[in-house]
Chains A and B, each alone.
Chain A
Amino acid sequence: MSKLLSLDDAVAKISDGMTVMFGGFMGCGNAHLLVQAIVDSGRTDLTMISNDASTPGYGIATLVEHKRLRKLITSHVGLNPQVAVQMNAGELEVELVPQGTLAERIRSGGAGLGGVLTPTGIGTPIAEGKDVITVDGRQYLLEKPLRADVALISGYRVDRNGNVWYRGDARNFNPVMATAADLVIVEADHLVELGDIAPEDVVTPGVFVDHIVVGGSL
């Protein structure tokens, strides 16, 4: 069965109110065409899980700008002032998560774990309301797994099985997010033939990927 989908059919898989993971770091490694297609489709009330909110005018920042988000789970919003404006206006809920904790919460969500124990955040506001567990004399926070309805990831080369090779540091959160959603859609900068990515070079194996949208880079 072909994993290829048109952009419109891919967006049709996403409903209002869903929780969606977006790979990327300050726009680098966002699935840019899918982001724009979601904006164009009118989808709204989304919960976005992403490292950051990018910077106005680039990548996932467009979803903030068009007020399509109900909640944002992220590590950093300092380079997108629109987030603070919407947060202060009560229009957008923001849950700040340390970046390494965000990665591990997603990893545990994808790996079938009940969460992770991390020393990060002990003694800070991040620890409020969380269980502190002592292991061999050191304190750790219990951080619970994160999963999403849909993960939208971006790959530079993607073959028809959905195997992904990432370029540069556009890799970032994409591989881990591909493990932690009920539906995973990869936007391929370049669709390649089977074998064009050597098995040793596959970063995200296609078994994680449900659908491929042929994008072309933005």
Chain B
Amino acid sequence: MTAATTPVVIDRTNLKEFIARRVAKELRDGDFVNLGIGLPTLVPQFLAPEVQVTLQAEVGMVGAGPCPAVEPDPRYVVDAGGKPASIRLGGAFIDSVTSFTLIRGGHVDATVLGALQVDAEGNLANWIIPGKMVPGMGGAMDLVVGAKRVIVAMEHTQRGEPKILPRCTLPLTAVKCVDLIVTEMGVIEVRPTGLVLTEINPEFTVAQVVAATAAVLTVSPNLVEIR
């Protein structure tokens, strides 16, 4: 049995935190950022103290919390998932038209969101599994079209099956929109020539990462340990 076919057994504890910690290093001081639900919401806690970002929430917030809260009533301030939220001092409440003017109009520096599938061209599928899960796209289609940088933060595989494919098989959220993929195995850049592994989690071998990726994966000559 070669290394490439050795089943990968990884500790799933803190896996989301591991991915979020790496994503946090992608954000720059002053960035205006929209975070998807789930894993991406863990990112702010891993930002370096000198990196201050402003969070956008599609429900209508510039400067989404956690704190300090200036709005005490949870009936009037919710996050994108409808849960009670807060707005930062100096933030602004905006209506949905303005919210998506920011999102679609190229005013958001980066968005971080999960994926069902990503492919070699940077196509993204994350909103529907026909016949199984039809939640709707919410703001995701606008976000990945409009944000300057689209970062996919996800587990590398789904129950052992690759999620990074030569071509997405699920209906797309948008075409050629993904810039960077961060998983527990490493960091993959989407370049015009294809996918390039630039950083690797030392718990894995290159062969294991390649084996868990269905798309062609070029290994960067400057491959480094995940930051």
Interface residue ranges, A against B (CB under 8 Å): 25-28, 51-52, 54-55, 74-79, 84, 87, 94, 96, 98-104, 107, 118-126, 156, 166-176, 203, 217-218
Contacts and interface: CB of A to CB of B under 8 A. Distances in A.
A78 B135 contact: yes
The 5 closest A-B pairs by CB, nearest first: A26-B82, A78-B135, A100-B100, A168-B76, A100-B142
Nearest to B131: A88
B172 A173 contact: no
Contacts, number: 152
A25 B100 contact: no
B100 A76 contact: no
B136 A96 contact: yes
A120 B141 contact: yes
A99 B78 contact: no
B136 A120 contact: no
Interface residues of B, number: 43
Given A25-B59, A99-B139, 17 more contacts: A25-B60, A25-B78, A76-B137, A78-B135, A79-B135, A87-B134, A98-B142, A103-B97, A103-B100, A120-B104, A126-B137, A168-B71, A168-B93, A170-B76, A171-B93, A173-B95, A173-B96
Nearest to B142: A100
A104 B141 CA distance: 14
Nearest to B171: A125
B94 A171 contact: yes
Interface in B111-154: 123, 128, 133-142, 145-146
Contact of B82 (A79, A96, A101, A124): A79
Interface of B: 57-61, 71, 73, 75-78, 81-82, 85, 87, 93-97, 99-100, 103-104, 123, 128, 133-142, 145-146, 171-175
A173 B97 CA distance: 8
B95 A175 contact: yes
Contacts of A118: 104, 142
Nearest to B123: A123
Given A55-B82, A172-B95, A174-B95, A99 B137 contact: yes
A103 B104 CA distance: 12
A103 B82 CA distance: 18
B96 A103 contact: yes
A56 B39 CA distance: 24
A166 B136 contact: no
Given A122-B175, A168-B77, A169-B60, A100 B82 contact: no
B207 to A, nearest CB: 33
Nearest to A218: B75
Contacts of A125: 128, 171-172
Contact of B138 (A75, A170, A174): A75
A104 B140 CA distance: 15
6 contacts: A25-B96, A75-B139, A99-B137, A100-B100, A102-B96, A168-B73
A134 to B, nearest CB: 15
A14 B82 CA distance: 28
Contacts of A99: 58, 96, 100, 137-139, 142
Contacts of A94: 134
A157 to B, nearest CB: 12
A51 B137 contact: no
B183 to A, nearest CB: 23
A206 to B, nearest CB: 17
Contacts of B73: 167-168
Nearest to A25: B59
A55 B78 CA distance: 13
B174 A171 contact: no
B138 A171 contact: no
Nearest to B173: A124
